[in-house]
């Protein structure tokens, strides 16, 4: 006769479809949340990066000077300062107008040069001394520029020789 066919054993389910659906839902929600966060942070970053430089470019301009080399007011007469600086002018049209006007540029340079020559080496090497000199440059240059506002002084080189 024929042999009896074995019946397969029933498969044991350890959570089955409920577990699979739960994993899919959790993964989907995590992916959606991560995508939402990424799109918001990227959009905010791009919006902030685009706005900040436009505002600065639209309102400020630079007046650049050749390097200044001056003997400092110390008693020995052997100490000197070499610095390169730029004036930040508001509005930016003022910076362009000043840079194109040779007389105004020389008046500004002369005012800054006279002020630098009055400084002492010991004062210039301290942060407070540099800040005071920066404020004095703004004040002195503002007297020479009646029509434009000087917003800041930027140093790109600053060397004091002892």
Q: Give pLDDT tens digits for 8-40.
A: 655 555 557 777 777 777 777 777 777 777 777
Q: Which of 58, 79, 111 is the last residue of a domain?
A: 58
Taking only the tens place, the pLDDT of each residue in 73-116 is: 887 668 899 999 999 999 889 999 999 999 999 999 999 999 99
Q: Which domain holds residue 32?
A: 17-58
Residue 43 domain flag: yes
* Alpha helical stretches, state H, the chain: 16-59, 92-100, 102-117, 121-124, 127-144
Same domain, residue pair 50 and 125 = no
pTM: 0.62
- Domain containing residue 82: CATH number: 3.30.479.30
Residue 96 domain flag: yes
Terminal Cα-to-Cα distance of the chain (whole angstroms): 116
Question: Count of domains in the chain?
Answer: 2
Same domain, residue pair 88 and 144 = yes
Residue 66 domain flag: yes
Of residues 45 and 90, which shows the higher confidence score? 90
Confidence band for 147, pLDDT divided at 50, 70 and 90? confident
User: Which string of b and e fits 81-118 if b means at least 16 CB within 10 Å?
Assistant: bebebbbbbeebebbebbbeeeebbebbbebbeebbee
Write down the mean pLDDT value for the chain: 82
């Amino acid at each position: 006769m024929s042999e009896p066919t074995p019946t397969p054993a029933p498969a044991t389910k350890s959570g089955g479809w409920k577990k699979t659906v739960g994993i899919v839902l959790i993964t989907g929600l995590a992916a959606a949340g991560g995508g939402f966060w990424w799109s918001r942070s990227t959009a905010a970053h791009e919006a902030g990066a685009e706005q900040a430089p436009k505002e600065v470019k639209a309102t400020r301009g630079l007046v650049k000077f050749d390097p200044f080399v001056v003997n400092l007011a110390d008693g020995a007469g052997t100490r000197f300062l070499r610095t390169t600086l730029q004036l930040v002018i508001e509005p930016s049209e003022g910076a362009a107008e000043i840079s194109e006007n040779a007389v105004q540029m020389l008046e500004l340079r002369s005012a800054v040069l006279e002020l630098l020559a009055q400084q002492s080496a010991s004062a210039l090497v301290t942060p407070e001394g540099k800040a005071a000199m920066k404020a004095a440059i703004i004040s002195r240059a503002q007297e020479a520029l009646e029509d434009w506002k000087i917003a800041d002084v930027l140093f790109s080189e600053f060397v004091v020789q002892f």
